[in-house]
Amino acid sequence: MPPETPSAPPPVRRRRGQWVLGALLAVLSAGLGCAYAIHQTVRATGRERIYFDPDLVPPRDVAIVLGTSPTTQGRSNLFFESRMNACADLWNRGKVRHFIVSGDNGRKTYDEPTAMRDALISRAVPASAITLDYAGFRTLDTMARAVAVFGQRKVTVITDDFHLPRSLFLAEAHGLDAIGFGGRPVLVKYSKKTRTREVASRIAAWIDVNVLHTKPRFFGPPVVVPVAAVSDK
């Protein structure tokens, strides 16, 4: 029987391809791990400063209300209604004396702040207790402007339950002493896509703060919010 012929080594091209694939998998794994860690970091921000029972919310003079459209696909937006009802809850319990409603008014046909003001007035909040921020294009813009334009240092942030961690993360990054209040959560069957997108939004917020040092689209001149100085209690 003739001696066995030793097997030939794998082609150089195959070995190189395996190395590239291995390197790509390692990079992908590291990236996913980093993204998950960032998501968890933002998610944990201010956990002890988030409230869902209005009776337990510490009183603060000013609340920042984060904007969203009053309608979606021709129907009432459940997220909008939840935020407006949350505002009314705090107002009726004397937990807030003034609202800054901050949203997108980037074009004439789209005006979140005015829609929020009108919704609050319909819930018996006086117009004199509402200040409009027309340049709250993103949560980051709202928090930066709350300090630089509206002169705030200590606020309550009102938005949806899943949005509160990112909101408080961005508030803290811009020097705000903020607590958060979330109204009745929108059922998951109506909010699954929005909750899923929030994961990416948290990662983007961390990158904006820690890597890109993103600034708001507009600052503008100072605006006086007509309430007494925020208490340090």
**Tens of pLDDT along the chain (233 residues)?**
555 555 555 565 667 777 777 777 777 766 677 887 887 888 888 889 999 999 999 999 999 999 999 999 889 999 999 999 999 999 999 999 999 999 999 898 999 999 999 999 999 999 999 999 999 999 999 999 999 999 999 999 999 999 999 999 999 999 999 999 998 999 999 999 999 999 999 999 999 999 999 999 999 999 999 984 444 43
pLDDT at res. 207: 96
d(CA 152, CA 114): 21
pLDDT at res. 3: 56
Q: Please work out, in degrees rounded to the nearest 5, the angle formed at the alpha carbon of residue 41 by the alpha carbons of 189 and 188.
A: 5
pLDDT at res. 2: 57
Candidate CATH numbers 3.40.50.720, 3.40.50.620, 3.30.360.10, 3.30.70.20; the one for domain 47-212:
3.40.50.620
pLDDT at res. 73: 86
Residues 6+ apart with CB under 8 A from 98: 61, 62, 63, 129, 130, 131, 225, 226, 227
pLDDT at res. 45: 82
Q: What is the pTM of this model?
A: 0.85
The residue written with tokens 């979606």 in the block is 72
pLDDT at res. 227: 83
